[in-house]
Amino acid sequence: VASSTEIAPSRAYLARFPPSAVVVFGRKPSGAGAPGELLARVRAMCVELGHAAPLACCDLEQGAGLHFDTATRLPPALALASAALANPAREELDWIAAAGELTALEARANGIELVLAPVGDVNTRCDNPIIAVRAFGDEAFAAGQRASAFAIGLHAGGAAGCAKHFPGHGDTGLDSHVALPSVERERASLEQVELVPFRRLIAHGIECVMIGHLDVPALTAEPGLPCTLSKRAVEGCLRGELGFDGVVLTDAMNMGALGRHEPRYVRALEAGCDGLLCPHDPDDAAEQLLAATLEGRLTLERLEQAARRMSSLRERLAALPVRAGRAQELQRGMAHSLATRALRLSVDGWPWPAGCAIAVADPVAPIETPEVAACVERLRSQLGGQHDAARTLLPVICEARAGRGRYGLNAQELERLEARLQLVTAQPNATPLVIAWFGSPQSVPARLWSDP
């Protein structure tokens, strides 16, 4: 959760439980922040205490600008895919790889070695409340190609990647931040859809895989058991069948999907996870693990295995050089052409003459992030913005937000949109109106595609 105050491990905690890695979170309620100084202090304190500086990882699905205010904020994965599709297939993948490379270059410049991306989910449900535009598509092969291109770009920029959310969060109607989602596919269907991108990412050398808090009985053989806590899912499927030998990370351990499953930290390590991300309380989590070890429930062999994997990754990434120079070239290329490449026009294309004044109406659905608010204001300034213009653009805002429990428009917002459309179609002299849909095409009501 974005916080306006600093949250960091205490000196006492670092002295007793030195971490192999830390998760950096720079977003505040107002947008991206500047967490680099805090990261440097935590690392310096670890060294001062006689420990190795921890690996730093950060969720940079939308570029380093998602958490660092001086870096580039990229659009979500589905918009990158849309921009790439404006070109032949080979250039499509090159474009997405360039986005990954820019993300890595700016991540390394800000002290981040491990990028918690790309998303390998195949968003096959249009009502998916949390994945939506975060996925590279709704078709398994294409989503896998694009996610792998992003990972290749990360490697070119000197950072490691983490494929998520294994075995696939795309066919779910619940947000795992809130409750435990279930994936009801048979095993053969999982092979044809969910597992396809992860197999490809593993073949391309992805360093980490993040396990989603997902109930997938076809893998776990235990309905109601999150894959995070399932040895069948982690050791049996991911490591045994898919051949992954890197670091297995959990999704955030403070999410609602794990609410009934205690002791969650012990069970995740027992299942084969190596790194436990974002506990409710780091001290309490460490004490639970220590107690389970002293009681003999957690074996030293399992702890040493996890520690070796984490330490090996930290040492390997710390030795990678930080590149400079190419980031500015990539920034210019993205800024120059991204908006026009990502834009998709339905039916007969843009209906109005270039340069005509267009009023930008108040959006349907509330704006929840400053980036979207700024985008709407840019539209107003660039299109004229007059409230009495002869033509109107109506923004419809859909944001994938953790814990919100839905994606797209709720019933009240959809009713407001329908009322505006009825006004346009029912009155001969009504102002012509175009909808700008800020979200996945999967969430657009069907009649907006089919009606004139």
Q: Which residues are catalytic?
A: 177, 251
Report d(CA 135, CA 344) in Å as an integer.
17
Residues 6+ apart with CB under 8 A from 262: none
Q: Which residues are 249's β-sheet partners?
A: 210, 275
Report d(CA 111, CA 116) in Å as an integer.
14
227: phi then psi, degrees, rounded to nearest 5: -60, -30
58: phi then psi, degrees, rounded to nearest 5: -155, 145
Report d(CA 423, CA 126) in Å as an integer.
27
- Which three-class secondary structure state does DSSP give residue 205? coil
Could you report how far apart the first and last alpha carbons of the chain are, in Å? Answer: 42
- Which three-class secondary structure state does DSSP give residue 337? helix
Of the candidates 97, 115, 2, the residue with the CA atom closest to the CA atom of residue 56: 115
Give, to the nearest 10 degrees, the angle between helix 140-156 and helix 77-84.
100
DSSP codes of every residue in 367-397: --SHHHHHHHHHHHHHHB--TT-SSEEEEEE
Report d(CA 175, CA 256) in Å as an integer.
9
Ranges of H-type helices in 205-325: 217-220, 231, 264-271, 282-294, 300-318
Of the candidates 451, 369, 375, 364, the residue with the CA atom closest to the CA atom of residue 414: 364
- Tell me the torsion sign for CA atoms 225, 253, 154, 442: positive
417: phi then psi, degrees, rounded to nearest 5: -65, -45
Report d(CA 198, CA 124) in Å as an integer.
16
Of the candidates 4, 155, 142, 16, the residue with the CA atom closest to the CA atom of residue 85: 142
Of how many residues is the chain composed? 452
